Amino acid sequence: MSNEKFGIVGFPWDGGASLGRPGARFAPKEIREAFSWFANRIEDNQVYDVEKRKTFTLREDGMVDYGDIDIVSYSTEETFKNAETKVKELLQKDVFPFVLGGDHSISYPIIKALHDESEGKVGIIQFDAHLDLVDETPVQGRFSQSSQIRRSLELPRIQPEHVVQIGVRSYNYPWYGKYLKENGIVQISAREVHESSPAQVVKQALDALKDVEKIYLTFDIDVLDPAYAPGSGANEPGGLTPVQCMSMLEKLYNVVDAFDIAEVNPLYDHQDITTAFAARIMFDCAVARLSVE
Q: What is the pLDDT of residue 3?
A: 54
Q: What is the pLDDT of residue 101?
A: 94
Q: List the domain boundaries for the chain.
A: 5-290
Contact 190, 239 (CB under 8 A): yes
pLDDT (tens digit per residue) in 251-283: 999 999 999 999 999 999 999 999 999 999 999
Q: Nearest Cα to 100, choosing from 285, 293, 244?
A: 285
**Coil, helix or strand at residue 284:** helix
pTM of the shown model: 0.96
Q: Nearest Cα to 239, choosing from 221, 253, 252, 251?
A: 221
Pairing of strands 95-101, 5-11: parallel
Pairing of strands 46-49, 54-57: antiparallel
pLDDT (tens digit per residue) in 9-68: 999 999 888 787 899 999 999 999 999 999 999 999 999 999 999 999 999 999 999 999
Is the CATH code 3.40.1160.10 the one for domain 5-290?
no
Beta carbons within 8 Å of 200's beta carbon, 6+ residues apart: none
Q: What is the pLDDT of residue 1?
A: 47
Helix axes 198-208, 242-249, angle to 10 degrees: 40
Q: What share of the chain is helix, strand, coil (3-state, %, to 5)?
A: 40, 20, 40
**pLDDT over 90 percentage in the chain:** 89
Give the span between the Cα atoms of 172 and 91, in whole angstroms: 36
> Hey, what amino acid is at 98?
F
**pLDDT over 70 percentage in the chain:** 96
Average confidence (pLDDT) over 220-237: 96
Give the span between the Cα atoms of 255 and 251, in whole angstroms: 8
What is the CA 168 to chain-centroid distance, rounded? 14
**DSSP H helices in the chain:** 27-39, 76-92, 107-116, 148-152, 175-181, 190-195, 198-208, 242-249, 273-290
Distances in whole angstroms, Cα of residue 21 to Cα of each of 76, 163, 236, 247: 18, 26, 13, 28
Instruction: Name the region of 61 (left: φ>0; alpha: ψ -120 to 50; beta: rest).
Output: left
